[in-house]
Amino acid sequence: MGVELLEHQVQEKLSAMGGAEIIVGIPSYNNADTIGQVVRVALEGLQKYFPARRALIVNSDGGSKDRTVQAIDPAHLNTPMILSVSHPLYPMHHLTTPYHGLPGRGSAYQTLLHIAELAQAQALALVDADLRSLTPEWFDLLLRPVLDREFDFVAPYYKRHKFNGAITNSIVYPLTRALYGRRVHQQIGGEFGISRRLASRFLQGKVWSTDVAQYGIDIWMTTTTIAENYKICQSYLGAKLHGLKDPGPNLGSTLMQVVGSVFGLMETYDSVWCNVLGSLPAPLFGVPFEVGVETVPMNLGRMLASYQQGVRDLLPVYQSIISPAQLEGLKAVAALPEEEFALSDELWVAVIYDFSLGYHRRVIDREHLVRSLTPLYLGWVASFMRQAEYDTAAQVEARIEKLCLVFEQLKPYLLNQWPLQTGEKRSAS
Amino acid sequence: MKAFWTRVILAPLYDLGQHALASLSGLIGMLVLIVFGLIVGWIAKEIIYRVLRALRFDRLCDRLGVGQVVERTGMARSSSYLAGQVVQGLIILSTLLAGLNELGTPLTRNLVDRFFLYLPHLLASLLVLIGGALVSRFLSRSVLIAAVNAQMPSARLLSGLTRFFVMALTVVAALDELGISRTTIIVTFAILFGGIVTAAAIAMGLGARDLARDLLQSQFRPKVRPEAEDPMRHL
């Protein structure tokens, strides 16, 4: 959709409803099964929690082939509160399946942010179109901190099975926490609350034509918010259940997209994180209530075999990435029997720091580097699952907290090897 | 008698002396050029080595995988040093050829002319070899990582085969560029590939059908398709 046509469509809708203080953005692609329910819940949430505020729900569709747009109740579509637009989806968006399952998510977010700016809305909430666990309360939790507490960014906080979200828990959360000094648990999600000034900042970014927009836009938004000192908080949303979709990308590709985005942003903001030691909590809104979560079957043998094969067959690759001391440690762990298999937090953290340094120095092709992390990651997951098999959710949380602290304690290991531009100084804050 | 002595003995001796002197000056000129080439070559090598080292050329070569090849084959102590040595060799070779040309004999002139006509082919084949080595390294590593991630037991074998075939194609292309036994090499290559394919077809189609099937299944089919059956949500 052209910018002029979009602006005309938005202006027409806004003048019909007399402006909008709140925008709810729903990017979609082939979500006919769930979008009707998501729009219904969004309407209910806005009417229940923000009856006095003018709000606009915008569905931005990337050319769905399953009549997603038609799946929205026509009665709703004809109300002034709902607008349906489309965002461009190019052939390149179909080349690789993104981990979040929404091709062109960056393009959709850019369109929705643009609409929020045109409307001069005070707050924008983004929600995925494939949600099955969405409730009206989510809109209160995502928008209220922005509207009433002057937060710029509301990150989601989901309740999950203790073994789900292992990439988040073992790499993304502890690494970004140690780097930027903010404890934001969920960098990867589809639900956010955004203030007007931060929406403007996001639109100024040059990220929209890059791979980051396609594969790591959520990580980019969260990291930008923290690194540039915008006010960030979290809202407890409970369990997140998706609709049934095609299988996502394989683990290697997922790591490439997610960990590659985090490593890439380390280069963008190295002058920021080099001056940070320790971390501060991000305020959490909502009540952490107990909910039923999906169970995770354990297959330790397969993960262990992957780790052992990786350490054996990828040794020449690892020799160019991982320091000799850590490599010896990994080999020693690979030789352990299954019942004693344990990868220590210290070793894991040093390996992740070595990978980030190797990525920065381009010791080998970057895609090769991140994909070669897969067997080691599975080894860490196997070790974590074996040790935490009988732990309660709270005990697992404590284990993750301990891992985060090791990331923070070993940060000097990274700092001492990260080549800084001349003139930059390192100092603890 | 005196005239006869002068015509038969002294004059040829004089001519021989003149020719010897002319050749000697050419020989001395050639030696001077070679010594000059050795000195200039050594200086150029040292300058290039130091400049490239300052420009972190070794790190770039390590990233491209050239550094490891240099190290493993023991060609030089580093990529920068090897580059210096290549320039030194070219300078010495050039002065040697110029020196040979100084002798002025048809043989040496012909040799120099042929060398300069051959030089572009030599450089082209060198580029083909370098490009092929880089591509084979990249592809074999891609195959290795993908196969390990898919938990294929023969990951290293697949990676090695990838490297072997890309390098074999590269060497054939480089030799073809040099014009060395062109027909023989192409025929040998075709026979080699044809032989492999035929052997595989016979093995699978006739006598060792079951064995080939079992072998291929055990080697190339992962016991579990880990990523397809991965029940975890990693994010």
Does residue B11 sit within a domain?
no
Q: How close A300 comes to chain B (CA, Å)?
A: 12
Mean pLDDT across A227-239:
94
Reported confidence tier of residue B222, pLDDT bands at 50, 70, 90 = low
Q: Choose between A309 and B55: higher pLDDT.
A: A309
CB contact under 8 A, B235 and A258: yes
Residues A272 and A309 occupy one common structural domain? no
Reported confidence tier of residue A139, pLDDT bands at 50, 70, 90 = very high
Does residue A421 sit within a domain?
no
Mean pLDDT across A122-128:
95
User: Which range has the worst mean pLDDT, A46-55, A201-210, A334-343, B226-235?
Assistant: B226-235
Mean pLDDT across A60-68:
82
Mean pLDDT across A65-83:
76
Nearest to B149 among A164, A188, A252 (CB): A252
Does residue A213 sit within a domain?
yes
Is residue A215 predicted with pLDDT exceeding 90? no
Reported confidence tier of residue A422, pLDDT bands at 50, 70, 90 = very low
**What pLDDT was estimated at residue B147?**
94
Is residue A77 predicted with pLDDT exceeding 70? no
Question: B224 in contact with A at a CB cutoff of 8 Å?
Answer: yes
Tell me the chain A residues in contact with residue B62 when contact means C-beta distances shorter than 8 Å: 320, 363
Question: B134 in contact with A at a CB cutoff of 8 Å?
Answer: no
Residues A374 and A405 occupy one common structural domain? yes
Residues A279 and A309 occupy one common structural domain? no
Nearest-by-CA chain A residue for B159: A313
Q: Choose between B102 and A387: higher pLDDT.
A: A387
**What pLDDT was estimated at residue B212?**
66
Tell me the chain A residues in contact with residue B155 when contact means C-beta distances shorter than 8 Å: 309, 313
Report the amino acid identity of residue A241. L
Q: What is the percent of chain B with per-residue pLDDT over 90, rounded to a whole number? A: 22
Tell me the chain A residues in contact with residue B153 when contact means C-beta distances shorter than 8 Å: 309
CB contact under 8 A, B231 and A296: yes
**What pLDDT was estimated at residue A99?**
61
Is residue A330 predicted with pLDDT exceeding 50? yes
Domain of residue B139 covers 121-223
User: Which range has the worst mean pLDDT, A169-178, A286-295, A368-377, B131-140?
Assistant: A286-295
In which region does residue A278 sit, left (phi positive, over 0), alpha (psi from -120 to 50) or beta (all else)? Answer: left
**What pLDDT was estimated at residue B193?**
77
Tell me the chain A residues in contact with residue B227 when contact means C-beta distances shorter than 8 Å: 250-252
Does residue B184 sit within a domain?
yes
- Residue A306 CA to residue A303 CA, distance in Å, equals 5
Does residue B72 sit within a domain?
yes
**What pLDDT was estimated at residue A209?**
81
Q: Looking at the DSSP assignment, which residues form a beta bridge with residue A58?
A: A25, A83
Question: Which of A378, A380, A381 should be substituted to probe chain B, the one whose Cβ sees the most B Cβ atoms within 10 Å?
Answer: A378
What six digits make up the tokens of A221?
Answer: 């938004």
CB contact under 8 A, A296 and B62: no
Q: How many CB atoms lie within 10 A of CB A136?
A: 16
Residues A341 and A279 occupy one common structural domain? no
- Residue B84 CA to residue A387 CA, distance in Å, equals 56
Give the HSE-up count for residue B202: Cα atoms under 13 Å, Cβ half-sphere: 6
User: Which range has the worst mean pLDDT, A113-122, B2-11, B21-30, B57-66?
Assistant: B57-66
Does residue A217 sit within a domain?
yes
Domain of residue A325 covers 300-415
- The residue from B104, B135, B168 where one domain ends is B104
Residues B138 and B216 occupy one common structural domain? yes
Q: Are strands A284-285 and A232-239 parallel, antiparallel or unpaired?
A: parallel
**What pLDDT was estimated at residue A65?**
80
Does residue A188 sit within a domain?
yes
Mean pLDDT of chain A: 87
Nearest to A302 among B62, B145, B226 (CB): B226
Does residue B230 sit within a domain?
no
Q: Choose between A238 and A355: higher pLDDT.
A: A355
Residues B211 and B128 occupy one common structural domain? yes
Query: For residue B178, what are the contacts with CB-CB under 8 A and spacing of at least 6?
Result: B121, B122, B125
Does residue A74 sit within a domain?
yes
Residues B80 and B145 occupy one common structural domain? no
Residues B156 and B89 occupy one common structural domain? no
Does residue B234 sit within a domain?
no
DSSP string, A200-265: HHHHH-SGGGSHHHHH-HHHHHHHHHHHTT--EEEEEEEE--BPP------HHHHHHHHHHHHHHH
- The residue from A285, A315, A345 where one domain ends is A285
Mean pLDDT across A228-239:
94
**What pLDDT was estimated at residue B210?**
66
**What pLDDT was estimated at residue A424?**
47
Mean pLDDT across A46-70:
87
Reported confidence tier of residue A274, pLDDT bands at 50, 70, 90 = very high
> What is the three-class DSSP state of A86?
strand
Is residue A309 predicted with pLDDT exceeding 80? yes
Mean pLDDT across A38-65:
90
User: Is there a contact between B53 and B11 (Cβ–Cβ < 8 Å)?
Assistant: no
Does residue A180 sit within a domain?
yes
CB contact under 8 A, A296 and B233: yes
Q: Which of residues 98-127 of B touch A (CB under 8 A)?
A: none
- The residue from A236, A260, A285 where one domain ends is A285
Residues B89 and B172 occupy one common structural domain? no
Residues A193 and A320 occupy one common structural domain? no
Is residue B2 predicted with pLDDT exceeding 80? no
Question: Which of A133, A374, A377 should be substituted to probe chain B, the one whose Cβ sees the most B Cβ atoms within 10 Å?
Answer: A374
Residues B129 and B216 occupy one common structural domain? yes
Does residue B153 sit within a domain?
yes
**What pLDDT was estimated at residue A258?**
92
Residues B131 and B193 occupy one common structural domain? yes
- Residue A153 CA to residue A156 CA, distance in Å, equals 10
- Residue A301 CA to residue A337 CA, distance in Å, equals 11
Is residue A350 predicted with pLDDT exceeding 80? yes
CB contact under 8 A, B232 and A296: yes
Instruction: Tell me B86's DSSP state.
Output: H
What CATH number has the domain bearing residue A202? 3.90.550.10
Q: Are strands A232-239 and A182-183 parallel, antiparallel or unpaired?
A: unpaired
Look up the pTM and report it.
Answer: 0.80
Is residue A421 predicted with pLDDT exceeding 60? no
Residues A116 and A201 occupy one common structural domain? yes
Residues B100 and B137 occupy one common structural domain? no
Residues A227 and A86 occupy one common structural domain? yes
Most distant CA atoms of chain B, gap in Å: 117
Residues A144 and A202 occupy one common structural domain? yes
Nearest to B63 among A254, A258, A363 (CB): A363
User: Is there a contact between A27 and A62 (Cβ–Cβ < 8 Å)?
Assistant: yes
> What is the three-class DSSP state of A350?
helix
- Residue A330 CA to residue B209 CA, distance in Å, equals 41
Residues B133 and B82 occupy one common structural domain? no
Is residue A9 predicted with pLDDT exceeding 80? no
Residues A199 and A166 occupy one common structural domain? yes
Does residue B116 sit within a domain?
no
User: Which range has the worst mean pLDDT, A90-104, A194-208, B84-98, B112-126?
Assistant: A90-104
* C-alpha radius of gyration, chain A, whole number: 22
**What pLDDT was estimated at residue A31?**
85
Q: What is the percent of chain B with per-residue pLDDT over 70, rounded to a whole number? A: 84
Residues A173 and A272 occupy one common structural domain? yes
> What is the three-class DSSP state of A23?
strand
**What is the tally of structural domains in chain B?**
2
**What pLDDT was estimated at residue A426?**
40
Mean pLDDT of chain B: 82
Residues B98 and B150 occupy one common structural domain? no
CB contact under 8 A, A167 and B235: yes
**What pLDDT was estimated at residue A138?**
95
Mean pLDDT across A174-198:
94
What CATH number has the domain bearing residue B207? 1.10.287
Does residue B67 sit within a domain?
yes
- The residue from B52, B77, B104 where one domain ends is B104
Tell me the chain B residues in contact with residue A372 when contact means C-beta distances shorter than 8 Å: 145, 148
Q: Choose between A4 and A88: higher pLDDT.
A: A88
Does residue A356 sit within a domain?
yes
Q: How close B28 comes to chain A (CA, Å)?
A: 51
- Residue B148 CA to residue A312 CA, distance in Å, equals 10
User: Which range has the worst mean pLDDT, A153-162, A228-237, B18-27, B204-213?
Assistant: B204-213
**What is the tally of structural domains in chain A?**
2
Does residue A295 sit within a domain?
no
Q: Choose between A141 and B76: higher pLDDT.
A: A141
User: Is there a contact between A61 and A28 (Cβ–Cβ < 8 Å)?
Assistant: yes
Mean pLDDT across A311-334:
95
Is residue A423 predicted with pLDDT exceeding 50? no
Residues A172 and A310 occupy one common structural domain? no
Tell me the chain A residues in contact with residue B234 when contact means C-beta distances shorter than 8 Å: 164-167, 251, 254
Residues A281 and A305 occupy one common structural domain? no
- The residue from A221, A250, A285 where one domain ends is A285
Residues B47 and B140 occupy one common structural domain? no
User: Which range has the worst mean pLDDT, A54-68, A391-405, B175-189?
Assistant: B175-189
**What pLDDT was estimated at residue B225?**
47
**What pLDDT was estimated at residue A383?**
94
**What pLDDT was estimated at residue B106?**
81
- The residue from B45, B78, B104 where one domain ends is B104
**Could you read off the pLDDT of B113-160 as tens digits, one per residue?**
888 888 888 889 989 998 998 899 999 999 999 999 999 988 999 999
Reported confidence tier of residue A169, pLDDT bands at 50, 70, 90 = very high
Is residue A142 predicted with pLDDT exceeding 90? yes
Q: Which of residues 141-180 of B touch A (CB under 8 A)?
A: 141-142, 144-146, 148-149, 151, 153, 155-156
User: Which range has the worst mean pLDDT, A294-298, A375-379, B60-64, B229-233?
Assistant: B229-233
